[in-house]
Structure 1
Amino acid sequence: MFIAGNYLNFVTEELKDPYKNLPRAIWISIPLVTIIYVLANVAYFAVMTPQEMLASNAVAVTFANRTYGVMAWIMPLCVAFSTFGGVNGAIFTSSRLFFVGARQGHLPGFLATISTKHYTPMPSLIFGCLMTLIMLSSNDIYILINYTSFVESAFIGVSIAGLLYLRYSRPDMERKIKVNIGFPVFFMIICLFLTITTLTSSPRECFVGIIIVITGIPVYLIGVVWESKPKWFRGILDKVTLLTQKACLSVREELKED
């Protein structure tokens, strides 16, 4: 729920009047989703015991089998639609994340190009697809979930901590969108809870997730910190960028100077 609301922050450039519509979308979506989730759990507890819920691999499906009768097939279909919507949001926002990172020089330049036909970061979408396929090579989906949830919760918590630090150290800093300090504090508490819970319940998976993150350090040092790259290295990057632009019919974005 909170992660879905956080996705909106990745696409502010593509929103109309983001300083008005972004807070409005968050204020509408989060209370609505919260109410739906609470009512769904109330319905589950009204039909099933806690032991039955723990024993069920799919609580919603078990609930539907007991209450919907011959129409129980609707629940798996609704779950599929919900999953599709969540994946669609993740794909939509993660590609913009790669795109902006490349535009700032933190990722290879070929990711900072936009399709001339669809006006979308096509290379970033393909890159995200390839990375996803690599992650899906794991034969245990629960381990994969622990990897991603731990790392994601930890980094979101660090980002919120940075926001709180800036609110304390630079209170007069200009902020286009500003909310009550209680909301980021509450959000950070949730991130800490998710991080600590995963760390205590699956320490091995969390350790592997930390190792995966650490492997990005040498890539960052070579790709970003190392500015005096040899000509042959830059030549390879330029060729990859040119090949990607031809294959995806993409070009670099023209940024307006303030």
Structure 2
Amino acid sequence: MRVKLYYRLTYLDILPNMAGGVKVRADHGKGTELERHMGLLSGVFLIMGTMIGSGIFISPKGVLEGTGSVGMALITWMACGVVVTLAALCYAELGTMIPKSGGEHSYLMHTFGKMDKCFGPVPAFLFDWVGLFIIRPTMFAIMTLSLGTYAIKPFFPNCTPPDVAVKAVSLSAIFVIAFINGYSVKLATHIQNICTVVKLLAIAIITIGGIVRIAQGNREYIQDGFEDTQTDVSLIAIAFYNGLWAFDGWNNLNFVTEELINPGRNLPISIMIGIPLTTVCYVLVNIGYLGVMSKEEIILSHAVAVTWGDRMLGLVASIMPIFVAISCFGAANGCLFASGRLCFAAAREGHFPEVFSYISLNRKTPLPSIILTAFIGACLIIPGDLSALIDFFSFSAWIAYGFTVFSLLVLRRTEPKTQRPFRVPTVVAISVVLTSLYLVMAPILHSPRVEFLYAALFIFSGLLLYFPFVYYRDCWRPLDPFINWVTIKVQKVFLVVP
């Protein structure tokens, strides 16, 4: 089959011809766009399915370690839910006011990009730089590594699974998830919905089992209340970080706004249903753990849900690692679904090579950006040591979240008459900005580590790329023939169009 594709066509109309080949016609009156497939239920399930990943099943011990008591740990989980809900409501206003895919990139570009030709796009570019190469792929890599660990755990019941096997399964999962997301938006959302139902079933089993034990009189673990509560502010901040890590993914629906049906209605409603429901699930599942295990046992356990299953489920305890693996698969699927749209939106603004803003002609998915995001995630899996990246992720992410909500306050002054289908009180936006500032500064002031310096250096190193490759990109015009040649080859291989 012979394929002829033209660089930067507005639209490609492919017609079979007599010779059995393919003929391409340009129609400049039309465009190829992402399609709106996601309804309200899929939006809720994307939020819940991405947030409920491995964290709540594997290591809620971080919150207990930081708070020191059962009562304070439960309050911290609820407080994290409140913080995330308020931040997400601010994002809902931005998403309904600026109905574009790309999340933070689109909002920062809209707010600051028009203010100054030189420095206006810098905040959006720095977010793209950190988001594409650290924040999003780190989330994806951690989820798939957890999936690999617990998918093969039943085959190694009495020992730790070998690293080679874990990474092989994790890389296979990345390939499968990338294929699903590149093949069909509908298929990706259906799988997301199924995985969310399965992980809610796992939460229900743990919650009901723990409450039954408490009703039977096993109350000694939960009766500890506020005994041994920590007074060190830095430890409470670390507990908050651990809790917020389990909630991360709350903003993923903002990355796919252009594929959400009626975003002015469904975006805020999905947030107001999904995040509070996830908060309730997290509190209930912790109560379920405490009905069976002491806080000391939870802190020492590397996989709380698996330990809980061994205590409560007997011969069928092996289903718990399967539940955790499915939960991780759903979270990783939702993460890649949203992350691919960040690369797509950034390339559309000229912050990355234009070919990553192209979409599949037949599937209407941002295929090149999905492949790039999955590739970076796979590269992070190969070393396998992601502990430093987790700290880097939390620090960098809350800088981005706080600055994005700050852009909402800026828009209140610069665009007061712009239509806002959903609006939050100004005091909510201010409280989110102050909270993010605390979450960024508290670890630095109370327990400074070299990772935070590396994070700051990496963020600002993006400026070394912005000015030569974005702002002064006209200087690279002599390379256009080569760039066009590569772009056309990618179009031919993946059948993608602008």
**TM-score, structure 1 length as denominator?**
0.87
1:240 counterpart residue number: 486
RMSD: 2.3
Cα distance in structure 2, aligned partners of 1:4 and 1:189: 21
Shift of 1:161: 2.1
The answer (yes or no) to whether the contact 1:95–1:125 under 8 Å persists in 2 is yes
Please state how far the C-alpha of 1:30 moved relative to its aligned partner: 1.0
- Which residue does 2:421 correspond to in 1? 176
Q: 2: CA distance between counterparts of 1:155 and 1:45?
A: 35
Distance of aligned partners of 1:182 and 1:90 in 2 relative to their CA distance in 1, 3 Å threshold: farther
Counterpart of 2:396 in structure 1 is 151
Pair 191,40 (structure 1): closer, same or farther in 2 beyond 3 Å: farther
1:42 matched to 2:291? The reply is: no
CA distance in structure 2 between the aligned counterparts of 1:126 and 1:148, rounded to whole angstroms: 21
1:77 to partner: Cα distance: 1.4
Structure 1 distance, partners of 2:363, 2:300, is 47
Matches of 1:142 and 1:53 in 2, distance apart?
Answer: 20
Instruction: Using the TM superposition, give the Cα deviation of residue 232 of structure 1 relative to its aligned residue in structure 2, in angstroms.
Output: 2.1
Q: How does 1:93-172 map to 2 (within 5 A)?
A: 93-167=338-412, 171-172=416-417
Shift of 1:213: 2.3
Aligned 1:71-110 pairs, distance under 5 A: 71-110=316-355
Q: Which residue of 1 aligns with 2:26?
A: none
Residue 166 of structure 1 aligns to which amino acid in structure 2?
Answer: L
Once residues 429 and 309 of structure 2 are traced to their aligned partners in structure 1, the CA distance between those partners, rounded to angstroms, is 36
Superposition deviation, residue 235 in structure 1: 2.6
- Unpaired runs of 5+ in structure 2? 1-50, 52-83, 85-247
CA distance in 2 between partners of 1:73 and 1:190 (Å): 40
Displacement of 1:236 in angstroms is 2.8
1:212 aligns with 2:445: no
Partner amino acid for 1:126? I
TM-superposed deviation, 1:109: 0.5
Deviations, residues 197-252 of structure 1 (Å, cap 9, x unaligned): 65455722232233332332222212211043243222332222222211211000
Q: Which amino acid aligns with 1:150?
A: F
Q: Please give the alpha-carbon distance, in whole angstroms, between the structure 2 residues aligned to 1:101 and 1:153.
A: 20
The separation in 2 between residues aligned to 1:198 and 1:244, in whole angstroms, is 44
State the Cα distance separating 1:27 from its structure 2 match: 1.2
Partners of 2:494 and 2:305 lie apart in 1 by 41
**Corresponding residue for residue 255 of structure 1:** none
SS class of match (2:497)? strand
Q: Give % identity.
A: 36
Q: Secondary structure at the match of 2:363?
A: coil
2:256 to 11, 16, 37: 11
Query: What is the alpha-carbon distance in structure 2 between the residues aligned to residue 124 and residue 72 of structure 1?
Result: 39
Q: Distance in 2 between matches of 1:141 and 1:184?
A: 32
The answer to whether the 8 Å contact 1:146/1:202 transfers is no
Query: In 2, Cα distance between the equivalents of 1:157 and 1:25?
Result: 21
- Mapped partners of 1:216, 1:223: distance in 2: 11
Match of 2:309 in 1: 64
Query: What residue ranges of structure 1 are gaps of 5+ in the alignment?
Result: 253-258
AA aligned to 2:465 is: V
Residue pair 1:138, 1:144 contacting (<8 A) in 2 also = no
User: What TM-score does the superposition give when structure 2 sets the normalisation length?
Assistant: 0.47
Change (3 A) 1:59 1:188: farther
Q: What does residue 256 of structure 1 align with?
A: none
Larger RCO (alpha carbons 8 Å, 6+ apart):
2
Determine which of 462, 465, 468 is the counterpart of 1:222.
468
Paired letter, 2:252 = Y
Q: Deviation string for 1:5-32 (max 9, x for gaps)?
A: 3111111111111101111111111111
- The amino acid that maps onto 1:87 is A
Relative to structure 1, the CA distance from residue 250 to residue 126 in structure 2 (aligned partners, 3 Å threshold; closer, same or farther) is: same
Give the total of aligned pairs. 252
Distance in 2 separating the partners of 1:228 and 1:94: 28
Counterpart Cα distance in 2 of 1:245 and 1:202: 48
The farther-off stretch of 79-88 and 198-207 is 198-207
Structure with the higher helix share, 1 or 2: 1
SS at match of 1:91: helix
SS in 2 for 1:47: coil
